[in-house]
Amino acid sequence: MKIITLIENIKDDSNNLINEKGLCLYIEKDNKHILFDTGRTGKFINNAEKLGINLREVDAVVLSHGHGDHGGGLIPFFKINSKAKVYMKAEASEEYYFHLMLFNKNVSIDGNIFKNYSHRIEYVKDFTEIMKDIYIITDINKYYEIPEGNKYMFIKKKNKLVRDKFQHELIMVIKEQDYISIFTGCSHNGAANMIKTSRIKFKDLNIKAVIGGFHLVKIPIIKSLTASQDQIDILINEIITSNVERVYTGHCTGEKAYRKLNDVLGDKIHYIKTGTEILI
């Protein structure tokens, strides 16, 4: 399986790709081509062209949750790809906000996607195999506390902002032989919870890799504020307990939290940037 990061917050200086705050992963498995999230805009399309990736061949898109920095590139994608279905939870179409004191920012996905491209969307309600060996987990169990930064995230209900419980988030799992790889978008439900939920769901299989963001930045606009050491230790312990072979993370994990993870996990963990290619 090959995974290429088409969009991430930062990039290597060695390439001429475009970065933005968001996440988009391109995955090739057997003869399948999958996108996991689509970044904030259509910039991932430009990067794909530079990397020689034909997005017209993408068979499916999986949307991790209903925030615009993960689903904002859907409309540009629809304009070049006429076949791929987009798999998401129905709650991803709701209206979401980042709220801090007097500051409100709408972080939803463009509502026109759900009005004009409903025929391209498959809402997933339960644990589902969307393609051979590619699964979506919709119910994420809470074994541990959720990220502290979630307290700034809200959903609009009856013209009122209420705390987001992240019912719109899912996990994608890809199975190969006797192991699985776990894909997370932002891990608003907690990366440790998502790993353990996947481990229990696929209890007879080893975890080859965990790929995605871990939401260890407390406030996205203040990068220096990271999750507590206790929360980081819980994630480290779950990675070790679950015998995860490799971890690839970036986006909302934050560089400061990554360094703390790397201090313990060492060569087991890697930071993905725009253009990073992974072979699993």
Whole-Å CA distances, 162 to 42, 152, 188, 218: 30, 10, 16, 19
Backbone dihedral angles phi then psi of residue 125, each to the nearest 5 degrees: -100, -30
10-22 pLDDT, tens digit per residue, is 998 888 999 999 9
Q: Strands, E, within 9-63: which ranges?
A: 24-29, 32-36, 60-62
d(CA 80, CA 32): 18
Q: Is the pLDDT of residue 243 over 70?
A: yes
What domains, with CATH codes, occur in the chain? 2-279 (3.60.15.10)
Q: 174: part of which helix (H) or strand (E)? A: strand 171-176
How would residue 224 be classed by pLDDT, with cut points 50, 70 and 90?
low
d(CA 98, CA 159): 15
Q: How far is CA 90 from the centre of its chain?
A: 17
Asked if 144 contacts 190 with a C-beta cutoff of 8 angstroms, the reply is yes
Q: Which pLDDT value is given to residue 146?
A: 94
Q: Which residues, other chains included, contact 56 with Cβ-Cβ below 8 Å and sequence gap of 6+?
A: 80, 81, 82
Q: Which pLDDT value is given to residue 15?
A: 87
How would residue 221 be classed by pLDDT, with cut points 50, 70 and 90?
low
Of 8, 46, 6, 37, the C-alpha closest to 184 is: 37
Average pLDDT, the chain: 95
108-159 pLDDT, tens digit per residue, is 999 999 999 999 999 999 999 999 999 999 999 999 999 998 999 999 999 9
Q: Which pLDDT value is given to residue 227?
A: 83
Mean pLDDT of 169-174: 98
Question: Which amino acid, residue 98?
Answer: F
Return the minimum-mean-pLDDT range out of 18-32, 177-191, 221-235: 221-235
- The torsion of the CA quartet 220, 153, 166, 276, rounded to 10 degrees, works out to -10
Both tokens of residue 31? 């003869």
Q: Which pLDDT value is given to residue 103?
A: 86
243 DSSP assignment: T
How would residue 225 be classed by pLDDT, with cut points 50, 70 and 90?
low
Neighbours of 31 (CB within 10 A): 7
d(CA 278, CA 280): 6
User: Can you say whether the dihedral through the CA atoms of 228, 70, 4, 49 is positive or negative?
Assistant: negative
Mean pLDDT of 268-275: 97
Give the bridge partners for 269, in sequence order. 247
Q: Is the pLDDT of residue 51 over 80?
A: yes
Q: Is the pLDDT of residue 223 over 70?
A: no
